[in-house]
Amino acid sequence: MKIIVLQDHLRSGGTERQSVLLANAFAAAGHESTLITFRPGGALAHSVSPQVTRVSLQPFDFKIDWAAPGLRSRVRNAAPDVILCMGRMANCYAGSLQRDLPQTAVIATMRTGKNLPTRYHRSLATVRHIVANSHDAHDTLVRIYRVNAARIAVILNSLVFPATAAEPRDPPFRAQFGAGPRTVVLFCVAMFRPEKNQRELIEIAQGLPADLDWQLWLAGDGPARAACEQLVMTRNLGQRVKFPGFLRDPVPLYRAADIAVHASSSEALSNFLIEAQAHGLPVVAYAAQGIAECFIPNRTGWMIPRGQADAFRAAILRLHHAPAADREALALAAKSFACRTFDPEQQVAAYLELFSRLRSTD
C-alpha cells in the first residue's frame, strides 16, 4: 500500500511521536510510507526512519502550523491508497483531501479533548473513516459530534518507549537532581502548554506536608515553561522543582521517579501515562478524556476530580506510605497492563487491517 501520514509539525508532543512511530512501522512492514509535514524540522525529525519518505511543504519554516502550500497537488500526484491525518491542523484538511481523491481512503483521527475547529468538525462527515485513540474519544465523536459509530474504529496509542523485561532503578539520575533514597519523586512529561497545566502540579506539590522530602520533575518544553520557571523562582522552590527539558528518550527518568502525576485538561489518551505504567510507575491524574483508560483504575492509577488538590495530595501520600511489597505488586501489574494493552505491534496491525478493509470496499 501507498500510505501518507499527515502532520503539521514534528514538535515534541504525543501525537507527533505517534505519527513518527506509525510512519516508521508502516515502512518496516513493507509499505510505501510517506510522512508529510507542513513545517520543516522539529524536535522529532531525527526519529524518522530512512525507509520513510519525508516531505515538508513549507520551503522554510514559516512558523505557521496551518500553512500547507501545495498539499493538494502533492497528494494528488502521489495517488496514495490511504491518507492518515494526525493532529488538529492535519484533520482540518482531511475533508477537502477526501473530496479531491474519492478513491483514496482518507482517515481522520480523534486524539484531543479540545473543542474541534469548524473545518475539523466538517471533515468528520466527509472522510472515509475515523480512528479514535480511546473509547472516551469514540463516545465524544458519537455524542457531541454526531458521528455514526459504524464509521469509527478505536485504535489505542502505541508505547513509544517500552520497558525492558527487568528494568533497574536509576539512583545516579536521582543524585543528579539531589534526590535522596527517601525523596518521593513526582514526575511528568508533557509539552509546556496552558492546557497541560504544569502550574497546578507545582501548586499541588507545594501543598504537600512540610516534613515530606519531595521533588517534582517537569520534563518537556514549550511556550508555558518560562511562566512555570518564574513561579518556581518566586516561591523559592528551585531545590524541589526540576526542569529536565525536552528528552529524546525519557526512559532514565521513568526509572528514577516514584509517581507519575498529570493535570492536563485536554487529553484523549496520554502517552506519558501509559509509558509511566509500562515502567512500573503508579499514576495520580486529574480527570480528562481517556485518562481512566491509561491505567487500571484504583489499582495502578487514581483519577482525581478536577480541582480537588487535597484529594490529589492524599493519593500521592497513600502511594508513598504503602508497604514495599504493595508497591512492587503495583509496579508489576502496571507493567503487565501497559505492555499488553498498548503493544505497538498490535496497534500497527489494527491500522493496517483497517486500511486493507477500507480499500477492499472501494
Tell me the CB-side half-sphere exposure of residue 238, using CA atoms within 13 A: 4
Q: Are residues 197 and 333 in the same domain?
A: yes
Q: Are residues 349 and 337 in the same domain?
A: no
Say if 163 falls within a structural domain. Answer: no
pLDDT number for residue 148: 97
pLDDT number for residue 193: 92
Q: Are residues 246 and 349 in the same domain?
A: no
Q: Are residues 86 and 136 in the same domain?
A: yes
* Count of domains observed in the chain: 2
Mean pLDDT of 322-336: 95
Reported as a pLDDT band with limits 50, 70 and 90, residue 360 is confident
Reported as a pLDDT band with limits 50, 70 and 90, residue 362 is low
What rounded mean pLDDT belongs to the chain? 95
CB atoms near residue 81 (< 10 Å):
18
pLDDT in tens, 67-116: 999 999 999 999 999 999 999 999 999 999 999 999 999 999 999 888 99
Q: Are residues 239 and 274 in the same domain?
A: yes
Using CB atoms within 10 Å of the CB of residue 144, give its burial: 0 to 12 exposed, 13 to 18 middle, 19+ buried. Answer: exposed
Is residue 46 a contact partner of residue 20, using CB atoms and an 8 Å limit?
Answer: no
pLDDT number for residue 172: 75
Geometric angle at alpha carbon 13, from 30 and 233, rounded to 5°:
155
CA distance 348 to 157: 9
Say if 121 falls within a structural domain. Answer: yes
pLDDT in tens, 231-258: 999 999 999 999 999 988 899 999 999 9
Residue 83 forms beta bridges with which residues?
A: 4, 106
pTM of the entire structure?
Answer: 0.93
pLDDT number for residue 168: 66
pLDDT number for residue 169: 67
Q: Are residues 337 and 347 in the same domain?
A: no
Say if 63 falls within a structural domain. Answer: yes
Reported as a pLDDT band with limits 50, 70 and 90, residue 152 is very high
Mean pLDDT of 293-310: 96
Assigned C-alpha cell, 238: 528551585
Say if 164 falls within a structural domain. Answer: no
pLDDT number for residue 257: 96
Geometric angle at alpha carbon 315, from 158 and 273, rounded to 5°:
10
Q: Are residues 120 and 31 in the same domain?
A: yes
Q: Are residues 355 and 224 in the same domain?
A: no
Is residue 166 over pLDDT 70?
Answer: no
CA distance 29 to 356: 13
Mean pLDDT of 150-174: 83
Reported as a pLDDT band with limits 50, 70 and 90, residue 361 is confident
Is residue 112 a contact partner of residue 32, using CB atoms and an 8 Å limit?
Answer: no
State the DSSP H helix or E strand holding residue 2, giving kind and residue range, or none if neither.
strand 2-7
Is residue 164 over pLDDT 90?
Answer: no
Mean pLDDT of 51-75: 96
Q: Are residues 224 and 356 in the same domain?
A: no
Is residue 314 over pLDDT 90?
Answer: yes
Q: What percent of the chain has pLDDT over 90?
A: 91
Q: What is the CATH number of the domain that holds 153?
A: 3.40.50.2000
Q: Are residues 252 and 283 in the same domain?
A: yes
pLDDT higher at 173 or 117 = 117
pLDDT in tens, 197-217: 999 999 999 999 999 999 999
Say if 165 falls within a structural domain. Answer: no
pLDDT number for residue 266: 82
Using the 8-state DSSP alphabet, how is residue 297 labeled? B
Bridge pairing between strands 152-154 and 129-132: parallel
Q: Are residues 151 and 28 in the same domain?
A: yes
Domain containing residue 225: 171-341
Say if 244 falls within a structural domain. Answer: yes
Is residue 170 over pLDDT 90?
Answer: no
Q: Is 279 left (phi over 0), alpha (psi -120 to 50) or beta?
A: alpha
Q: Are residues 95 and 177 in the same domain?
A: no
Say if 265 falls within a structural domain. Answer: yes
